[in-house]
Amino acid sequence: MTSFWTAIWEILRSLRFHPGRSYGGSTSGPGIGIAGIVLCILAVVIVVVILVVVIMVAVIRQLHNNNGPQTTEEVMVLGKRVVQAATRKNTVDGLWYYIGFQFADGRQQEFFVSRNQYGLANAGDMVRITYAGEKFIDLQRRYEPAPQYYR
């Protein structure tokens, strides 16, 4: 990795930038040279690769959630939280609603839920949820206290 940063440093040192000179539109005088062009192309390639990887991860996660099996389980509500949304795009009131659940095997997971589903559950309630991967689908409330092994 050190040789990578050494190479970048050498490229930057090879650029012929002289403060005080005008480079705007003039073809005479020193420019950034071939090393500067290579560095610009390298920067663009790195940015494009990062964007492609981020998009691929999002698409794979979405396909996994949509094509995965739907699971319905009895769980205990651990807690709820509300987050002020950065935009109002996917919300009615500018808020995002989350509920944390504990499964019978002790595993805990938090899901993004609708405002109505958020209002149905309280901490300590036993509910039946349906989900696929990380995608929350449905919540059905039970009106019984949680069994002792959840507490």
Contact 17, 32 (CB under 8 A): yes
Q: What are the pLDDT tens digits along the chain (151 aa)? A: 667 778 777 776 666 555 555 555 555 555 667 777 888 889 999 999 999 999 999 998 888 877 878 889 899 999 999 988 776 665 667 788 999 999 989 999 999 998 888 888 888 888 999 988 888 888 988 766 556 655 5
Name the phi and psi angles at 87, rounded to 5. -130, 165
**CA-based end-to-end distance of the chain:** 50
Beta bridge partners of 76: 102, 126
What's the predicted TM-score (pTM) here? 0.57
Q: Which domains are assigned to the chain?
A: 2-18+30-66 (no CATH), 71-150 (2.40.50.660)
Beta bridge partners of 29: none
